[in-house]
Structure formats: C-alpha cells, structure tokens
Amino acid sequence: MHAKSFRRWARRGLSAVVFVATSAATAHTQSLDFVLGQLESADPRVRSEAFYRLLGHRKVQTSAPRVRPDSSTVRMLQNWPEDAPRIRRALITLLQRENKRTMTEDEATFHGDLISSVGALRDPNAVDALMGAVRTGGIVRSALVQIAPASTPKLLAMAQQDTSLNNRHAARIVLGQIAKRHPEVVLGKELTSAILESLLRGLDENDDIARGASISALGAFPDNPRARMKIARLAQEDTTTLVKPDGTVWIPARERAASWLLTHSKPR
C-alpha cells in the first residue's frame, strides 16, 4: 500500500472510531436522561424500576439474588464521573420524595435500597434526605456517621427539638456513634461538647428506652465525670419497671446503667 493510500485509510479508520465512540456517548446520555426522567414519575412503581435500572439491575424479583445498592452506586459513579453530579442530585431528591410516603411491605425493600444508595454517596447534601429516614435503622445511621461533622448540627437539633420521642432517641444513638468514631480534633470542641450535653439531657427523658439509649451512647464519653455521676444515680434510683412474659419484673434503665458502669469501670 502506498503511503498516501495508507494515510487515507488510517484517516477513515480513525473517523469510524470517533463516530462509534461519539454514538455510544450519545446513546448513554439519552438512556441516562430517560432513566433520570422516570425517577420523577408520578407512579411509584415506575420510580422504583427506574432506580434499579439506573444501578444496572433489572426489576427485582423475590427469587433473584439481593442487589448491593451501595456498591452498585459507587461503581456507577466511578464509571460515569461526568454524570455523577446530576445522578447524586436525582437520588437525593428521590429519597426525599419517598420518605414522605407510607410504604407497603413490598415497597420497603426499595426504600431500604434507596437509603443504602444515597448513604453510599457520602454527600453532605444528602443530610436532609437521610435525616428523613433516621428511624429506619442502621443503614441510614451509618451514613450519617460517615458524613459527620456535616450531619451533626441537624442531629443535635432533632435530639433537642423534635416532638417525636422516637426521633430524639434515634438522633442520640447516631450522635453517640459520631462521638465514638470521630475524635474531637475532627468534630471540634464545640460540637463534641454539644453532643455530650445532648446525651446527658437524654438521661432525663421520661421514657426508659430513651434513657437506656443515651446511657449506651455515652460510651463515647466513658471518663466524663458528669456522665458517670448521672449514670451511677440511674443505676441506684431509676424505678421504671417492665414485666417480662414470664412475670418477672425488669428495671431496664437501671440494669443498663449498672452494666455501663461495669463495662467502663476505672482501674483502681
């Protein structure tokens, strides 16, 4: 092949490669636009199916292996870095919307997977969406711990001001986990002190379960004199009793306080 002919052939080949790459990129963008549009559908079923399609899974069947929405989300963002900002926004917006609905039993799996996906974003902009699901359990709590200190001010506000005892209880559990995981050098002295004060207030809640949760959370401050004094008092004076199915009387907060003191006993 002559050099001139070879150059023409090479240019045509390069043009074909560029065309294929451009076409693939265009198809990806159009497909992503379609799926993100479906996440805004008025039909909850369409939104659910679009979520799984976005993560690279077909509609979940009960017999199918469970998806890992957290790892799928991380992998997707790594594969499509140029689209990551709008995917993040779409997932956060979707969780905020789904938090407002009452889920059926079948939809609860979707909601949990969505929480896991948004938690995997490790995005401070997701704090409000995750806070809306703080009572759902460990997945959302773990995400709020990992994005601290960005999540801490709103958790403090929930623990102090929320009218729901369950929300205050859940917020204090997360605050204790944050204080245990993140040292004062990360949180700052002011936030660390605010967490301690919130947990100490939790010891004064009227509900014994809430008091018990604050006792456990104060494991992040085992050497604090005020915490030790208040917990020691509960171990002696808390009187809220429950009756077990076998008829025996149980004083849960007192027992938990005594257990805390034993676990965090100071060497003599």
Q: What confidence score (pLDDT) does residue 157 get?
A: 95
pLDDT over 70 (residue 101): yes
Cα-flanking dihedrals φ and ψ of residue 250, to 5°?
-130, 135
- pLDDT tens-digit profile of 51-94? 999 988 644 444 444 568 888 899 999 988 999 999 999 999 99
**Which domains does the chain show, CATH number per domain?**
37-60+69-99+108-133 (no CATH), 148-268 (1.25.10.10)
pLDDT band at 25 (very low <50, low <70, confident <90, very high): very low
Q: Is the dihedral of CA 256, 219, 192, 171 positive or negative?
A: negative
Return mean pLDDT, the chain. 83
Buried b (16+ CB within 10 A) or exposed e, 226-235: ebbebbeebb
DSSP single-letter state for residue 62: T
Q: What confidence score (pLDDT) does residue 240 get?
A: 84
pTM comes to 0.76
